[in-house]
Amino acid sequence: MDNWTPGIFEDVPANEYHRTILGEANNGGLKIIDERTPAHYAQWVKDRNKPKSAKEEYEEQQHFRVGRIIHAAILEPDKFDDQFVLMPDFGKMQSSKNREVRDQWLNSLPPGTSVVEPGQKELALAMRDAVLRHKTARLVIEGGKPEVTLRWQDERTGVRCKARADWWNAELGFAMDLKSTADASPLEFGRSAAKYGYHRQHCHYADGFRQLGSPIRHYLLLAVEKEAPHCVGLYHLDAAAEERGFQLLHRSMDKMALCLKAGIWPAYSDNIEPMTLPGWAYSDRG
């Protein structure tokens, strides 16, 4: 934290941005502290900073790899072919000669290159083609910067914050996040937005750009379906959703500020509390 500097930064490596610090507010942490408890948030930070075994590192990379491939294909096409390459068929790996040839090929790759499966690359390219067929989405990604990192100290609470916008166009005054989804229709994607807190994310990012002196006029969500025909929806939140997003954001930030001041990250109440049942539990219909 000693070298922490506010500002809008390009080309911050993903692993550097995702380094998690207790009390530095990002959208994922704010969601946990609000929907669960500060204790769950503190544990989440602790877990993210634990050393991982090789197996855990591999599984985590696999979990996020498809998303990274899709983002690169759509938002950084110039780097896509260099960053992601298909592994050739080296034959059966029972053969020591085949393994040796494979290892030589892997060692020849430039640093930062990811080896992907054919299906993963084909999926990313199909989704990119779908975005390019969408007239407005194509215009949106023609000018701007990908993977822009924001760091700021919240003027209301004093909490240090960070965010990473998938796309930012300073000239036109908008930021955008790319979301792969099962259903990009307005109704179903609206449900996804509510479930995953995209409205809180919208407000967190908008607050960051404003407080850093580069206010945005629009925060867009580019939704692309993961299955063919990979239909595309481009959305901005209406006033009611934005108002609710700021309610959630401020509530989350206030909780974090109180915990930082007290140095305590509490869980549930220490008292005996009343408990009720959900509405469906009072019906005899099974």
In a domain, residue 208? The reply is: yes
Residue 278 maps to a domain = no
Using DSSP's 3-state secondary structure scheme, residue 285 falls into coil
Q: Are 28 and 201 in contact (CB under 8 A)?
A: no
* Paired residues of 168 in beta bridges: 145, 175
Lowest-pLDDT choice from 83-92, 173-182, 231-240: 83-92
Residue 161 in this model has a pLDDT that exceeds 80: yes
CATH of residue 171: 3.90.320.10
Q: In the structure, what pLDDT confidence band is assigned to residue 1 with cuts at 50, 70 and 90?
A: very low
The answer to whether position 238 is within a domain reads yes
Among residues 81, 167, 176, the alpha carbon closest in space to that of 121 is found at 81
Contacts 24+ apart (CB under 8 A), 196-199: 196/31, 197/27, 197/30, 197/31, 197/248, 198/237, 199/237, 199/241, 199/242, 199/244, 199/245, 199/248
Specify the number of domains making up the chain.
1
Q: 225-236 as b/e, with b when 16 or more CB fall inside 10 Å?
A: beeeebbbbbbe
pLDDT of residue 179: 96
Flag whether 268 is in a domain: no
The stretch 101-125 carries a mean pLDDT of: 81
For residue 2, tell me if it sits in a domain.
Answer: no
Per-residue pLDDT tens for 223-248? 999 999 999 999 999 999 999 999 99
Residue 34 lies in a domain: yes
Q: Say if CB 232 and CB 10 are below 8 A apart.
A: no
Task: Please check whether residue 206 lies inside any domain of the structure.
Answer: yes
270, part of any domain = no
Write down the residue that tokens 């020849």 correspond to.
108
Among the ranges given (108-117, 167-176, 229-238, 257-266), the one the predictor scored with the smallest mean pLDDT? 108-117
Per-residue pLDDT, averaged over 181-193, amounts to 97
Q: Are strands 7-9 and 232-236 parallel, antiparallel or unpaired?
A: unpaired
Average pLDDT over residues 39-51: 93
DSSP H/E element including 207: helix 198-211
Chain centroid to CA 153: 21
Domain extent, residue 61, equals 7-262
Q: Give the model's pLDDT for residue 67.
A: 83
